[in-house]
Structure 1
Amino acid sequence: MSRSVVDPHLRLVRDVTPRSSGCEECLTLGTPWVHLRLCLTCGHVGCCDSSPLRHARAHANRLGHPIVQSLEPGESWRWCFVHEMPV
């Protein structure tokens, strides 16, 4: 997909609030994460692809919520898991 084309998944983006201060699944399991990603459809907080369990990607695949935003301080980029590119 060309960057000049608007990602159709952006229609799923909502005004969300993070549901937790860490990866929801990692907090439950007691496992570590590297970086956090915010689901822009429902507010789920999951761990990144560099984390051992990759919960943000699993959430996107399981629920069809493909757009995430970095929750790292000073970062505001967004990513589409379907198209594997920034949006």
Structure 2
Amino acid sequence: MTGEGGWAVAPDGGRPHGSPCTHLDLLAGSDAPLPAGPAVCSACEARGWTWVRLRRCATCGHVGCCDSSRGRHAYDHHVLSGHPVVRSLASDEDWAWCFTDEVFLVRGA
């Protein structure tokens, strides 16, 4: 199933029957520009930590660091808010992740 903006669950060889995502509609407005200035993980910045990659919440726009970062603040945001989907903010990545359904989401799949 493809959602608004052409987003769909990425093929997963480990789950041959596929796994759906019920949150594709959240990605419809996820291309909105970030506020002026560099994107940062404010929770890491407040602690003087660095991060590996940043993720943006598709529900509210919160920016947090990825699971490979020390703080894992994007995941923490999901746990605290219940917001299910994040998009990668890395310039060389164009995918999203649904924490709830545990699937990668890609454009035009």
**TM-score class normalised by the smaller sequence:** 0.7 to 0.9
Q: What is the aligned partner in structure 2 of residue 75 from structure 1?
A: 93
Corresponding position: 1:86 with 2:104: yes
CA RMSD for the aligned pairs? 2.0
Identity %: 45
Task: For CA contacts below 8 A with separation 6 or more, give which structure has more relative contact order.
Answer: 2
User: Which whole-Å deviations, capped at 9, do the CAs of 1:13-68 have from their partners, x for residues lacking one?
Assistant: 46244356111211122111111101111111100000011000000111011101
Amino acid at match of 1:33: W
What stretches of structure 2 of length at least 5 have no aligned partner? Answer: 1-14
- Determine whether 1:50 maps to 2:68: yes
Equivalents in 2 of 1:18, 1:26: separation in Å? 18
Change in 2 beyond 3 A, CA 1:77/1:33: same
Q: Is the 8 A contact 1:18 1:38 kept in 2?
A: no
Q: Which of 18, 23, 47 pairs up with 1:9?
A: 23
Structure showing greater radius of gyration is 2
Aligned residues: 85
Tell me, yes or no, if structure 1 residue 26 matches structure 2 residue 40: no
SS of the equivalent of 2:23 reads: helix
CA deviation after TM superposition for structure 1 residue 9, in Å: 2.1
TM-score (norm 2): 0.67
Would you identify which runs of 4 or more consecutive aligned residues in structure 1 move more than 3 Å? 11-14, 16-20
Mark the runs of 5 or more structure 1 residues left unpaired by the alignment. none
